[in-house]
C-alpha cells in the first residue's frame, strides 16, 4: 500500500449489472487496466471484447489489482462473492447500496481480512456514469488513507465526495438524499393529480413545477441554520400558524379535484402536532424533532 496511486492504476471490478457495466466502460475509456468478474459470465465476456481482462473467479479478480471495487445487488451478495478472496493489502471499495449498519459491519469484516475499506453511495444512474457534465458523484466513507490514495481512479466514472471515516456515512447520506427525493416525487405526483382532470397540458405545467421546487429547495439552508442555532423562529417568512391555517384549503382543493389526500395528510398532521407543542412563530423545522424517536 506504499506505492503511489498512479493515474492509470489497475482496477478490479466485481459485479457487472447495469451500474457495474457503466463503471467498467468509464475506467476502460480512461485507460485503466481493468479486470472484471460477474456471476453470470456473459457480461464479463462483452467487456473483454472492449479491452477488459475477464477473471475466471471472484478471487482471481481480487488478486489482479490493488484497487478492488464491488458493485453488487446487496450486502449478502458482497459477502458471498468475496468469501474465498484474499483481501490482505487491498483497497476494497464497496459501491453496493446497503444500510449504514451493514456498511459498518462490512468495514469491520474487511479490516479483519487485512483490507482498507471504503463504502460508497452512488448518486447517479448508469447513463450519468462517464459523463462529467451530468453531475453524478459517489459519497465515500471509511478509510481516509484509502480515499486519498485511490482518489484519482475513483474520480474517473463520476465525481467523488468523501464524507467521513465512519464507514456508515456514505450509506446514510445516500439514503438521506434519496429519501428527500421521494418526498419531492410525492409532492409532484399530488400536483400533477390536481391538474390531471382539467384541460391543463402537463408538459406546459412541468416547467412551472420544476422551477418552484428548485426555488423552494433553497429553504433547506434556512432549516439547517435553525437546527444548528436551536432558534426555530430565526428568519421565518412563513410562520407555522399561518401554514397550518392554510391546510384546509389544500385538502378542500384535493377534494374538489377528486384527488386523494393520502400523500399530504401525514405531513400536515406533523405540522399540526408541532403547532400544538411549539411556537406558531416557527417555520417547519420543528417537524424534524417530531420525527426523532
Return the residue of 33, 51, 79, 126 that touches ligand NDP, per CB under 6 A: 126
Other CB atoms within a 10 A radius of the CB of residue 201 amount to 9
Spatial strand order in the sheet of 67-70? 53-54, 34-37, 11-14, 67-70, 91-94, 116-123, 137-142, 159-162
When asked if residue 71 is in the footprint of ligand NDP (CB under 6 A), the reply is yes
For ligand NDP, which stretch binds (CB under 6 A), given 118-126, 180-188, 220-228, 283-291?
Answer: 118-126
Beta-sheet pairing, 116-123 with 137-142: antiparallel
When asked if residue 39 is in the footprint of ligand NDP (CB under 6 A), the reply is yes
Query: Which residue's CB is nearer to ligand NDP, number 63 or number 288?
Result: 63
CB of 39 vs ligand NDP, minimal distance in Å: 3
When asked if residue 136 is in the footprint of ligand NDP (CB under 6 A), the reply is no
C-alpha closest to that of 19 among 120, 94, 122: 122
Q: Is 164 left (phi over 0), alpha (psi -120 to 50) or beta?
A: left
When asked if residue 94 is in the footprint of ligand NDP (CB under 6 A), the reply is no
Provide the CA 205 distance to its chain's centre, in angstroms: 28
Terminus-to-terminus CA distance in the chain, angstroms? Answer: 43
Return the residue of 10, 30, 77, 265 that touches ligand NDP, per CB under 6 A: 77
For ligand NDP, which stretch binds (CB under 6 A), given 65-73, 190-198, 200-208, 232-240?
Answer: 65-73
When asked if residue 43 is in the footprint of ligand NDP (CB under 6 A), the reply is yes
Provide the CA 126 distance to its chain's centre, in angstroms: 13
In the complex, which residues of this chain contact ligand NDP (CB under 6 A)? 15-20, 38-40, 43, 71-73, 77, 80-81, 96-97, 122, 125-126
Amino acid at each position: 500500500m506504499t506505492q503511489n496511486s498512479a493515474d492509470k492504476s489497475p482496477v478490479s471490478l466485481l459485479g457487472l449489472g447495469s451500474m457495474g457495466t457503466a463503471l467498467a466502460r468509464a475506467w476502460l475509456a480512461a485507460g485503466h487496466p481493468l479486470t472484471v468478474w460477474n456471476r453470470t459470465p456473459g457480461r464479463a465476456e462483452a467487456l473483454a471484447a472492449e479491452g477488459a481482462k475477464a477473471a475466471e473467479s471472484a478471487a482471481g479478480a481480487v488478486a489482479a489489482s490493488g484497487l478492488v471495487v464491488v458493485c453488487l445487488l446487496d450486502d449478502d451478495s458482497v459477502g458471498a462473492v468475496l468469501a474465498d478472496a484474499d483481501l490482505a493489502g487491498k483497497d476494497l471499495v464497496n459501491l453496493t447500496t446497503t444500510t449504514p449498519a451493514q456498511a459498518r459491519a462490512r468495514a469491520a469484516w474487511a479490516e479483519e481480512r487485512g483490507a482498507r475499506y471504503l463504502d460508497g453511495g452512488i448518486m447517479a444512474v448508469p447513463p450519468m456514469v462517464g459523463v462529467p457534465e451530468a453531475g453524478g458523484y459517489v459519497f465515500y466513507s471509511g478509510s481516509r488513507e484509502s480515499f486519498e490514495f485511490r482518489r484519482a481512479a475513483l474520480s474517473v466514472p463520476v465525481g467523488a465526495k468523501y464524507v467521513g471515516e465512519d464507514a456508515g456515512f456514505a450509506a446514510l447520506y445516500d439514503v438521506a438524499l434519496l429519501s428527500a427525493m421521494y418526498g419531492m416525487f410525492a409532492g409532484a405526483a399530488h400536483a400533477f393529480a390536481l391538474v390531471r382532470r382539467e384541460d391543463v397540458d402537463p408538459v406546459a405545467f412541468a416547467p412551472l413545477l420544476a422551477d418552484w421546487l428548485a426555488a423552494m429547495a433553497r429553504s433547506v439552508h434556512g432549516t439547517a441554520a435553525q437546527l444548528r442555532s436551536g432558534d426555530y423562529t430565526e428568519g421565518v417568512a412563513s410562520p407555522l400558524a399561518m401554514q397550518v391555517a392554510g391546510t384546509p384549503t389544500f385538502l378542500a382543493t384535493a377534494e374538489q379535484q377528486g384527488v386523494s389526500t393520502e400523500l399530504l395528510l401525514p405531513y400536515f398532521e406533523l405540522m399540526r402536532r408541532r403547532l400544538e407543542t411549539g411556537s406558531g412563530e416557527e417555520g417547519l423545522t420543528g417537524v424534524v424533532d417530531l420525527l426523532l424517536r
